[in-house]
Amino acid sequence: MDALLSGSSDAKQSEDLFGEIEDDRSALPLKDRREQPTSEADAEAEMPLAESRALVLSDFVPPKADLTEKLIRFAYRLGVGGAVLTAPFRKPARPRLLATVDTPLAGDRVAGMALRAGHFMINGVKAPISEVEYQSSSRATPPFERMIHGFAWLRDLAAAGQREQCVETAERIAGLWLKANPKPGKCAAWYVDYTAMRLMAWLVHAPLLLSSKDGNLRADMLGAIDETARWLDREVRRSSDPLGSVLGWGALVAAGLLMPQGKPRRLYAEAGLVAALGDFAGEDGGALSRSPIAQMDVIAMLIDLEACYKATDRDLPNAFGLMRELLVPPILALRHGDGALGNWQGTGAMRADRLAALIDASTVRTRPLKEVKHWGFHRLTGGNTIVQMDAAPPPRAKHSRSGCASTLAFEMSDGAHRVIVNCGGAALAGGLVPHRIEQGLRATAAHSTLILDNVNSTSVLLGGKLGKGVEQVEVERSEIARGNAEVQRIEASHDGYASRFGLIHRRILMLRGDGSELRGEDVLMPSTRKGQRGKLGLAIRFHLGRGVEARLSEDKRGASLVLPDGALWQFRLGGNDAGADVAMEESMWVNGDGHPHAIDQLVVQGMISRGGGQFSWLLKKMG
């Protein structure tokens, strides 16, 4: 567990395992090649690519509007009310909803049944409904804030039974929240992202909240919907958080569709949403925050938004449908052989069934992203083996939410079992994962990569932000023919240690075509012609998957790794410049439900000259 807050390690060789590890390091042009499906999780690879995958963000424009609609949009932006613009000589309509929404995206039935039994399930913690603090001024951890103030629980409750079975619970919680938060404020309940999530949840799951025989509660709920929408009208433009902006504009579009005299709001918000989506994602469709959680939040919002359009017999604007198609492939690139996500940028390993439900509800059928740009997560596949690598700079401060110093880290799975992982779970800290170790989970040492002198490659700051460190990452992919075997090769380097130690870290990964071996090399090179003197502590960390049984070799140059299904992998060190050996330490891995699990990690450790050094290693499947 100390490894979450520190780091150190190095490497050597076993001849029958290594053979030609020094051969052919030249980078070759990446050939066009059809990626073969490696597991059930990659079934999409058999399906033809939609034409829209060739789109870039410049193809996205607001829905076409005539001159009158443009004037209405402009007037609404200036603060002219929707009632004045649509029916200037009538009294403003009383708050009500014009349609019932049927979203295809279901929640977590287990969490919903827990609500019916009287308690929230928040990242593994049972919190009785009657004991939760609903005031926006109360100091809660982010997972509790998201659940309580974002009303994320409504989707789960809707999946837990028929409407009449769930109404009482929904009304009870909503009543407690409304009583504790009668007016907008400046605390967590009125962060733009939580407010947007709350408004969208109220609109999409309105039958659970508005079926009461209590007229006062119904009126209070409708009044809260109206007031929240008007608050977002004013505040969404001021949001400095790209994800909050996207969710805010999306909720306003839904309100414009479902509330009386909503056309001006809809026109205004549709244009705002297109612009916000352009700020949120890069050309490859990946969130600029590089956060899988943020990526999935936006996909879910677009699914709900399309349901709102259908409920009002309107077509989803082309830009929103195309954006959804662009957002799905990056998420698929992070799926392992078990169908669940890798642990990247604070995410836990989201369960396969939840991820599949999101992809199915999106109706997007495509392959994992291959032409990676801003998203930065590269994928190698061979046989049943999947390797994921972070080969991009960390997110900038504007976009970072649970930013991690994970540059050049990798994960690896063999079929349904993970061999090498990252700790993950920083975004879920505050439930069973203590919030006090949130920064440790974002540190370089919490990832399967190299760390120098126990210093993060990028500074980890409070509030999910990152400081100075990695600015440039150079990456090159190629395919190498070696005898009858084909090898996928990725080479990447970062400058996170250049300013402090005068060293560049370069990592090369080579995956054999049948997935039976992964060869790796970590190289430290001087960033200037004049190298520095002295030595530094070094660690190359390999966090092992849950259930992997590791046993160090007698020479401390390798380890045997037995997977839960009995498969045997061998880890060996090749030649290195530090006389390094392998140690085994405790670590932690967080799943998608926020549950921490004890695991082991292999640590290659030694001392490295400030003039640089080279460390080769191999993971080989033995049976």
Condensed to tens digits (0 to 9), the pLDDT of residues 181-215 reads 999 988 889 999 999 999 999 999 999 999 877 78
Q: Which of 240, 243, 175 lies closest to 210, judged by CA?
A: 175
In a domain, residue 255? The reply is yes
Residue ranges in 405-513 assigned as alpha helix (H): 438-441, 498-501
In a domain, residue 308? The reply is no
Residue range 558-602, pLDDT digits in tens? 999 999 999 999 999 987 666 789 999 999 999 999 999 999 999
- pLDDT value, residue 21: 36
Residue range 419-473, pLDDT digits in tens? 999 999 999 999 999 999 999 999 999 999 999 999 999 999 998 999 999 999 9
In the predicted structure, residue 14 carries a pLDDT above the cut 50:
no
Q: Are residues 13 and 151 in the same domain?
A: no
For 271-340, the DSSP string reads: HHHHHHHHHHB-TTS-BTT--HHHHHHHHHHHHHHHHHHHHTT-PPPHHHHHHHHHHHHHHHTTB-TTSP
- pLDDT value, residue 484: 77
Residue 349 phi, psi dihedral angles, 5° rounding = -75, 85
| Contact indicator for 167, 211 with CB cutoff of 8 Å | yes
CA-to-CA dists, residue 135 to 152, 179, 238, 463, angstroms: 16, 9, 24, 21
- pLDDT value, residue 529: 73
| Rounded average pLDDT over 161-172 | 94
The amino acid that residue 458 corresponds to is: T
Let me know the angle formed at the C-alpha of 146 by 144 and 149, rounded to the nearest 5 degrees: 95
| Contact indicator for 617, 14 with CB cutoff of 8 Å | no
* Packed helices 192-204 and 292-311: angle between N→C axes, nearest 10 degrees: 40
What sign has the CA pseudo-torsion 281, 285, 290, 293? positive
Per-residue buried b or exposed e for 332-348, using 16+ beta carbons within 10 Å of the residue's own CB? bbbbbbbbbbbbbbbbb
Range of the domain at 198: 57-282
Give 22's pLDDT tier (boundaries 50, 70, 90): very low
In a domain, residue 528? The reply is yes
Give 19's pLDDT tier (boundaries 50, 70, 90): very low
- Domain end point (choices 250, 282, 314): 282
- Domain end point (choices 282, 317, 336): 282
In a domain, residue 198? The reply is yes
Total residues found in the chain within this entry: 623
- Domain end point (choices 282, 314, 330): 282
Q: Are residues 444 and 388 in the same domain?
A: yes
Cα separation, 153 vs 115, in Å, equals: 8
The amino acid that residue 506 corresponds to is: R
Q: In the 3-class helix/strand/coil scheme, how is 215-244 assigned residue by residue?
A: HHHHHHHHHHHHHHHHHHHHHHHHCCCHHH
Q: Are residues 97 and 195 in the same domain?
A: yes
Q: Are residues 275 and 402 in the same domain?
A: no
If one counts the domains in the chain, the total is 2
Q: Are residues 553 and 479 in the same domain?
A: yes
Q: Are residues 8 and 90 in the same domain?
A: no
Give 495's pLDDT tier (boundaries 50, 70, 90): very high
Q: Are residues 388 and 256 in the same domain?
A: no
At 613, is the secondary structure helix, strand, or coil?
strand
Q: Are residues 254 and 203 in the same domain?
A: yes
Q: H or E stretch including 147?
A: helix 142-149
Under DSSP, the state recorded for 30 is P
Q: Which of 418, 449, 433 lies closest to 602, judged by CA?
A: 449
Q: Are residues 609 and 507 in the same domain?
A: yes
E strand map for 577-622: 581-590, 596-609, 613-621
In a domain, residue 184? The reply is yes
Residue range 253-295, pLDDT digits in tens? 999 999 998 899 999 999 999 999 999 999 999 999 999 999 9
Give 2's pLDDT tier (boundaries 50, 70, 90): low
| 494 DSSP β-pair partners | 473, 505
Q: Are residues 496 and 554 in the same domain?
A: yes
The amino acid that residue 320 corresponds to is: F
In a domain, residue 348? The reply is no
Residue range 530-540, pLDDT digits in tens? 666 788 999 99
In a domain, residue 50? The reply is no
In the predicted structure, residue 113 carries a pLDDT above the cut 70:
yes
In a domain, residue 582? The reply is yes
Let me know the angle formed at the C-alpha of 513 by 507 and 516, rounded to the nearest 5 degrees: 80
- pLDDT value, residue 556: 92
| Tokens of residue 561, six digits | 């790794």
Q: Are residues 387 and 458 in the same domain?
A: yes
Q: Are residues 492 and 446 in the same domain?
A: yes
| Contact indicator for 467, 443 with CB cutoff of 8 Å | no
- pLDDT value, residue 44: 39
CATH code of residue 583: 2.70.98.70
| Rounded average pLDDT over 377-393 | 97
